[in-house]
Structure 1
Amino acid sequence: MEMADVMVADGWRDAGYEFICIDDCWMAPTRGEHGRLRFHLPHPQFSLCLQTQVHSKGLKLGIYSDVGNKTCAGFPGSYNHYDLDAQTFASWGVDLLKFDGCNSGTLDLLAEGYRRMSLALNKTGRSIVYSCEWPFYLRPVQQ
């Protein structure tokens, strides 16, 4: 929320920067009630406060998740929770999802996870920019 204030005060928003993106490690180490992701903060309405603060400044909110069962840093990923997580992000007013590919297992599981999250985001009815590294993982390693 402080970064939203800084982006406006220092002219970054007016220069065309519009997203405040929260990367890995934002979530609690376990899912909460009904299997939902939750912020690693004690305030139960933090997501609403964050969304309100960011949007009131004319900025958009981005958040991070992962196609695997854990994020790159080991927090809960979206594997087998794609619909629930997409609904959660939409209810939080998220405008961008950065979807990483750590801990996804095989390339087939990675591709399936990216596809399933894409479909889940579309089902929410909210316009959410979907940022993933696919097909980066299919490129041959340069030696």
Structure 2
Amino acid sequence: MAELSESQLLLLDNLIYLKEVANKRNSTVSAVVKKLLDEKDLDKSINKKKIGTEDEYPCKMSRDEWVAILETIKKDPQLMDLTIKNGLTGVMYDKNDQVIMDKDSKQPLEVGMRVATFVDPQGEATVVFRGTGGTTRIYQFEP
């Protein structure tokens, strides 16, 4: 498969900012995007403490902007054919090395890095990192 363009890489980078995307091991981008759009999983990324502010959704983007990104991914057959592998999301630990859970959602509190590997049908991998301070690094590997 052809190497991903810079625009495609940026779309993947945006995608992993949404909750649970990096952890969708062995799911196709197609299935993840469909679920985000059709089943309203996009709203799982809402910061409930920031509803009505610019921080309601990740990256200070509105719901409409996120939908536009997902629709752009949906129109790209090369991206939709990728499979998410080996995702990882950083979590917060207390002084006893126990994962800190959010009181409302009962989910682990996220912090720091988030990473996902996207693999095409030929086995070529692209690794996308969401950094701790907003810096993103994207690497492509060939088998």
State the TM bucket, normalised to the shorter chain.
under 0.3
TM-score by length of 2: 0.28
Higher relative strand content: 2
Q: Which has the higher helix share?
A: 1
